[in-house]
Structure 1
């Protein structure tokens, strides 16, 4: 596994241009809630013009710019018009990360982080001990009082600090997908999305308890009962995250009160038009396509850079979970050669309000700093939408591949590492090079089993998407010659 890039973060004032350093950067956001409407796909939005209400800050901005020039006299002045567009969930904006419209778009994202003090998750007898994460909790500044009960009995987890970041970024991907589905439905009905109501509805599905369908508790539950056998306190890999999302959505679809969403895990990054069409027409539900992939050995092969940027620029993009050495993050956009992401490695107490689920800052990292293991999410809402996706990508994208019909036989690869998930170790005690993200690339040597696809006589959808019980394989894309 590659070593993690520098953790030095550069605070940016509201007037500073987006940093272009090779290391990660963090840009603090304002705390005012967003109120603008959902932007259309791939729309160019000019976010550089300030509204009248913002004019009183012009002197402060000018002073900040002057101070920045004093600090870095050799740095070239940045003209917002000369900056490359900021792309967020398929919408392209003019300006910097702190321009009003861009900041609103970032603040609109739903952000899930480590939590402490939640409803206990019983420890597995042969699984990690809650006490083994004391070091991680100290590093992340956890209030000992909030986690005291878990420390004393050592039989249950009341915090996911040190092991839950892949689950949190998977929640980010799923929550922002549901948010998009609800908002677009409102627009189709001729209404303006009520973001406060939408966020309240979506966040309620992810509360950290057993009653919330997409909680940490239920992610752990479905993974522990699947062939993956992931125990509480063990790290999720892309396969476990993808399969958990699929199974939780399938169960939630049975409840009339929840937004409906089908999920397809795309093996080998292949999409078959007949299967997609049948599934979309069978239920009339939006379809989330998940691609658990590995785009290299220790780092992403540069041949895939344009394809990743292309996927993040689509209106179908629901983001990427994973993709940083030793950690998992949620990537939702890009500017130039840098990706925008939300960091789940902030510990928060359980909070029933929505405010703590909105990002306080936006982070950037050059694409060259990414780990190659990740889950890519794309949303299609109809077969016509799928055809539009196909038109954009077919023959142009090196990651996603399209076929008219599914083969009658297939090879199923099983990831041994996801199947035998590693026990977590406290940060800094023998696992500093691993963190809490399972690297499934170098050890990917799963057995290959050829199996017959059983056709459902009552449906043209192949049964593998309805009754498959095996783990979702992670596709390893070889370097192209």
Structure 2
């Protein structure tokens, strides 16, 4: 390990031990991987550091004709959308066990990262997301997004990524229809990998405590891609949990825009990887969020649906969402276990983006 990277990993620990992961007997879950904080702290941090971390940037070329050259103060949810999408692409092209190594840049890793570079030509850049939001979602460039809005924009951009051929599905009305998912992913007898968004609103101004355990369970599933949401006025990407805290990557750091290619400097490469995650109490989570999953194949999807059904629907008085094999013609939706049981969580069509106000 060279001096630069060593300094990157140890700078803050020279001052005091970071408080990113507590010393606890509670399991630590990071995107479906279970860790022991007392024995695997280095492995936990390596896993977290290997996630793509997209933050505010400044000094990029203006977005369209807006004249805007930074997303500071308005782009936090857009960056969270980039992070969950970037993680799906890492799973797809490099696998769950891949770990970032600044000394040996995998060509696929460089290709993935370049799709998020801050310029209009990059498929998933802040430019493309903001401009697509303006043209299709009625969001002016510089206006904040909510979780559902950024999911809709990602869905519209994904068909232009021919390398990944990723299918993006947004399960609205708190309803997951298995038949719709399979038809979307199975085209011409070929299965396309799936990025699944489940937008939820679990309360009015505060999250209902009844959903806390179900939210934590989502991080234990192998297909987990975390949650995009946040605190009021502060959107974040949640990648795991420990005890009653969520582990998150926070986009609220303004960095200089950089070029991304195989020859980019180590410092520039490091700017896309967070040294230490932060933690947030689950009950401080804003009730508007999107739970995200990645399914590489049909077997993955079947396993996920079974996990969701057994852990989040059966025996739950107020499940996070409803699962059904096909969408019924009648208004009353049916769950797999109880055909007479109706949804108990309000829909998300009336999502408000006001929870993610502009920051200074």
Shift of 1:269: 2.3
CA deviations over 1:70-91 (Å, ceiling 9, x no partner):
xxxxxxxx995x5211110100
Give the secondary structure class of the aligned counterpart of 1:231: coil
Question: Please, what is the CA RMSD of the aligned residues?
Answer: 3.1
> C-alpha distance in 2, partners of 1:349/1:284?
39
CA deviation profile, 1:339-359 (whole Å, cap 9, x unmatched): 000111100001223221000
For 1:112, the equivalent position in structure 2 comes to 54
* 2:354 is aligned with 1:435: no
- Structure 1 length as normaliser, TM-score? 0.60
- Quick check: 1:87 aligned with 2:29? yes
Q: Provide the secondary structure at the position in 2 that maps to 1:168.
A: helix
Tell me if the contact between 1:97 and 1:103 (Cα under 8 Å) persists in the aligned partners.
no
Aligned with 2:194 (options 287, 301, 304): 287
Per-residue deviation at 1:320? Answer: 1.1
Cα drift, residue 182 of structure 1: 1.3
Equivalent of residue 236 in structure 2, options 323, 329, 338: 329
| Deviation, structure 1 residue 64 | 7.2
Q: Is the 8 A contact 1:294 1:374 kept in 2?
A: yes
Q: Quote how far apart the aligned CAs of 1:396 are.
A: 3.1
2:320 corresponds in structure 1 to: 399
The answer on 1:213 being equivalent to 2:123 is yes
Match of 1:246 in 2: 155
- Residue 303 of structure 1 is matched in structure 2 by 210
For 1:210 and 1:288, the matched residues in 2 are separated by 23
Matched, 1:173 2:173: no
1:31 CA displacement:
2.8
Structure 1 residues 86, 194: CA separation in 2 closer, same or farther (over 3 Å shift)?
A: closer
Please give the TM-score of this superposition, normalised by the length of structure 2: 0.79
Gaps of 5+ in 1: 1-28, 34-59, 69-77, 124-154, 423-432, 438-481
Taking a change above 3 Å as real, the CA distance of residues 30 and 270 of structure 1, as seen in their structure-2 partners, is farther
Matches within 5 A, 1:179-258: 179-184=90-95, 196-197=105-106, 198-226=108-136, 228-252=137-161, 255=162, 258=163
Specify the SS of the correspondent of 1:120: coil
Aligned in 2, Cα 1:413/1:329: closer, same or farther, shift over 3 Å?
A: closer
- How far does residue 32 in structure 1 lie from its aligned partner after superposition? 5.0
For structure 2, the 5+ residue unaligned runs are 1-5, 260-267, 313-318, 333-346
| Distance of aligned partners of 1:235 and 1:224 in 2 relative to their CA distance in 1, 3 Å threshold | same
Matches within 5 A, 1:333-348: 333-348=240-255
Within the alignment, does 1:379 sit opposite 2:283 as a pair? Answer: no
Residue-pair matches, total: 316
